[in-house]
Amino acid sequence: MRRPPRTAIFPVGGLGTRFLPATKAMPKEMLPIVDKPLIQYAVEEARESGIEEFIFVTGRGKTAIEDHFDHGAELNEVLSARGKDKELRAVEDMLLDPGQVAYIRQQEPLGLGHAVWCARRMIRDEPVAVLLADDLIMAKTPCLKQMIEAYMTTGGNIAAVMDVAPEETERYGILDVSSDDGKLASAKGLVEKPAPADAPSTLSIIGRYILDPAVMVELNRQEAGSGGEIELTDAMARTIGRVPFHGLRFAGRRFDCGSKAGFLEANIAFALERSDLHQDMTRILRRYAQTGKAGPDTGATVA
């Protein structure tokens, strides 16, 4: 019988150059959406999807992620002494059990495929999930859970996909579709970041994958793609023919938090979902929509 993936890899070794200077000393994945870092959303999604082992592929300057998922004895004592029970629960509930989490260093950011390959010795001959924290997904059923449900039928490789505007294909891995039932598309090829004229479709891969063990074997070749990076898409593409490849149009909304506009939109969208913030956010957004600005400055005006 087919078994669902039990292990998830979180590649967090990128440089996050689009968010400099914020990411000079802080990992991009620690940027908060409202009051929770991006990486925590990804870990919670994996947990709710049945993942039991969590592997972070980190890089230079990423120790904040390890600290975030560690027990903070001093902080807990202070919260407890001050009767801040809700806050104490918030920092305790998110912790993973001892031994459930491992950190591996990607010594150089040579690409997403390379980051995944760095975890090869920690996974057995079994499927593995990969989640990119900067793709944040708001969904009733966690996106990875939807993918695992599909995987139990299809096996092979699965990526979360969405239709993008034709001029955006250059930013994504694109499916060369062989069949498509509107939800699940089967691919006969993948093209990494094609120009619109060369794109075989507009069905784009976003940062959620279930990988067949054959992908790791392909990654062993350490071949860089046309952009100079070792791409995960290229390794998956090379298994097509031997291993089925499906793209799942997941139910939910994806925010590209690797871009500034996507990150800001995610903050608004997640704040609007919160009962403690909904009213304030609505009022603020209305004011901006009506006037296009924050309102009059406070304090003295300079002559």
Binding residues for ligand UTP (CB under 6 A): 11-18, 28, 57, 106, 109-112, 114-115, 132-134, 258
Nearer to ligand UTP, 215 or 281 (CB): 215
11 phi/psi in degrees, rounded to 5: -75, 115
- Count of CB atoms situated within 10 Å of the CB of 150: 19
- Shortest Cβ 264–ligand UTP spacing (Å): 15
Residue 233 CB, nearest approach to ligand UTP (Å): 12
| Gap between the Cα atoms of 60 and 222, Å rounded | 21
Nearer to ligand UTP, 115 or 219 (CB): 115
Which CB sits closer to ligand UTP, 209 or 250? 209
Q: Tokens in use for 83?
A: 């009767």
Task: Tell me how far, at minimum, the Cβ of 15 lies from ligand UTP, in Å.
Answer: 4
| Rounded distance between C-alpha atoms, residue 182 and residue 253, angstroms | 17
Least distance (Å) between residue 111 CB and ligand UTP: 5
- Tell me the closest approach of the beta carbon of residue 87 to ligand UTP, in angstroms: 28
Specify the residue, 31 or 79, whose C-beta has the smaller distance to ligand UTP. 31
Least separation in angstroms between residue 83's CB and ligand UTP is: 38
Question: Given the complex with ligand UTP, which of 50 and 109 has the nearer CB atom?
Answer: 109
CB contact at 8 A, 136 and 14: no
Count Cβ atoms below 10 Å from residue 60 Cβ, excluding itself. Answer: 13
Please report, for residues 68, 87, 91, 293, the alpha-carbon distance to residue 82 in angstroms, rounded to integers and kept in the order given: 21, 10, 15, 39
Q: Name the residue whose CB lies closest to ligand UTP.
A: 14
Q: Which is nearer to ligand UTP, 149 or 223 (CB)?
A: 223
Backbone angles phi, psi at 49, to 5 degrees: -95, 5
For residue 178, what are the CA distances in angstroms to 33, 175, 184, 212, 249?
37, 9, 11, 20, 15
